[in-house]
Amino acid sequence: MDTTQLLKGVLDVAVLAAVQHEDGYGYDIVRRLRAAGLAEIGDASVYGTLRRLYGAGALTSYVVPSDGGPHRKYYGINDQGRTMLSQQRASWAEFALTMSALLDTRRPQPVRTIGENA
Amino acid sequence: MTTTTLPGTEVAAFAAAVRTALADLPPDDLDELTDGLEADLAERAADAGEDLGDPVAYAEELRAAAGYPPRAARSHVGAALPDLRTLPRELRRRWNALRIRNPWVASLASFAVALRPVWWVFRGVAAHTLLASMLGVNGLAWWPVGVGLVVLSVQAGRGRMRERAWVRWLTRAVTAIVLVASPLLLGWAVNAWNNAMYPVYDGEVWYPQSLNVGGTPIDNIFAYDANGDPIEQVQLFDQDGNPLNLIGDTGADFWGAQDGSMLVPSGDVPGRAGWNVYPLAHVNSWSDYEDDGRIDDTEVSETVFPSAHVKPLAGAVAPAEVAQPMTEEATTPAG
């Protein structure tokens, strides 16, 4: 299965989770997500998501100048972001449980036929 | 902070391309979306050592993740580089729209379509000219090839043999070459036209070897004084003091006159042939010269002036008093 397709649906929660403990700048967050195992995540997708979450009020943003190089834009989570993260965490847990149950090979779903219990 | 290994210019160019691809967004959104892009790109490049990839695809990913709708028309004005695969279709679509909106464009287009056969012929002639100049042969001498190329060009234009792919590709290639070379061809044509109007001679510059006035060759000069009397001998010099000769080769023994007779220089000038002493004397009989290859004085005939007298100038004094001094003055060399 194409993991990038799956990633699209969980980008928001993944990015929120990546900044929940520590502020970070764009590539820093990409690095955290990849280190966490999301190797196929695209940087542009992460930057775009950061921008969208910021626009939605879930993140704060500030610019840090760097010595002799281009400045960095840092993102940090705020209360609204934390609320969003906990909601999405719950949704994900439920969704993951459902999918895991559906895909679990050890307990195949019995096929019911109409009239079987009659 | 990781050290940047990628040249900053490459990162800057990539970032600029990304911004260009997103240029349809409102400026504030664009700034917001691409703020800090250079730092991230530089670090990624330093980290992964990979090349940055396609900026347009990158921009699209950024745009989609940020929640902006995808750009509607890929190649509207001000957008990024058009997609080459869809470009012909897109151009055709826009052309059709333009034609529908503006009737004058449609009539102009149909006029141009009517002129297509002219273009076919031009393409054939141009291909011939280019081919001839490439092979270094005289195009005029190979005119049957030119005729053949014109026929082929017209046939291709009429859509004959179109089912063969190579014919289509060859036609396109020739069309492209001719279009590119047409300024050159026009230059040649203008040049050829100028050459036809104002002849220039290749190689050595050609100077006329005799004096011409309005196309009429001047064989001889007859001088008359102020009183209208003929001057038996007059030396002529130009503005630089050089002898004014009617022929270029003053070493020649004789000069063929227009009437078939031979003109010979005066023998009275010390040290050189007196080609500037007028009137030049005639040798009447070719045979006299041909017998021994020399001209004797006896063979030189008396010079006959076209008129015994001409009208005296206004205010001229009586001939007896001034004829002699004037002749002397005229024979004094100027230089």
Question: Does the pLDDT value for residue B246 go beyond 70?
Answer: yes
Residue among A49, A82, A44, A77 at smallest CA distance from A61: A77
Contact A70/B36, CB-based, under 8 Å? yes
Instruction: Identify the pLDDT of residue A43.
Output: 85
> Which chain A residues have a beta carbon less than 8 Å from that of B62?
44-45, 47-48, 51
The whole-number average pLDDT for the span B57-61 is 87
Backbone angles phi, psi at B235, to 5 degrees: -100, 135
Structure tokens at B306: 């076209």
Q: What is the ipTM of this complex?
A: 0.77
DSSP state of B230: B
Structure tokens at B200: 């220039």
Q: Which of B32, B39, B58 sits opposite A66 (nearest CB)?
A: B39
Instruction: Identify the pLDDT of residue B293.
Output: 57
**Are A77 and A58 contacting, i.e. CB atoms less than 8 angstroms apart?**
yes
What torsion, rounded to 10 degrees, do the Cα atoms A11, B15, B82, B175 define?
A: -150
Cα separation, B75 vs B22, in Å, equals 12
Q: Which of A25, A30, A46 sits opposite B36 (nearest CB)?
A: A25
| Block residue for tokens 């009617």 | B246
| Structure-model confidence comparison of residues A77 and B250, the more confident one | A77
Partner A contacted by B196 (CB < 8 A): no
pTM for the whole structure: 0.40
**Are A47 and A54 contacting, i.e. CB atoms less than 8 angstroms apart?**
no
Under an 8 Å CB criterion, which residues of A touch B?
A: 11, 25-27, 30-31, 42-49, 51-52, 54-55, 63, 66-67, 69-73
Contact B40/A11, CB-based, under 8 Å? no
Contact B66/A70, CB-based, under 8 Å? no
Cα separation, B263 vs B265, in Å, equals 7
- Per-residue pLDDT reduced to its tens digit, B276-294: 888 888 776 666 555 555 5
Q: Is the peptide bond before B279 cis (omega within 30 degrees of 0)?
A: yes
**Are B323 and B230 contacting, i.e. CB atoms less than 8 angstroms apart?**
no
- Per-residue pLDDT reduced to its tens digit, B186-230: 888 888 888 777 765 555 555 556 677 777 778 888 899 888 888
Instruction: Identify the pLDDT of residue B109.
Output: 86
Contact B39/A30, CB-based, under 8 Å? no
Residue among B58, B53, B51, B98 at smallest CA distance from B80: B58
C-alpha distance from residue B193 to each of B65, B106, B133, B184, B331 (Å): 64, 35, 18, 14, 49
Structure tokens at B211: 């004096």
B132 by DSSP, 3-state: which?
helix
Residue B263: beta bridge partners?
A: B255, B282
Instruction: Identify the pLDDT of residue A55.
Output: 87
Q: How far is A31 from chain B (nearest CA, A)?
A: 9
Contact B36/A30, CB-based, under 8 Å? no
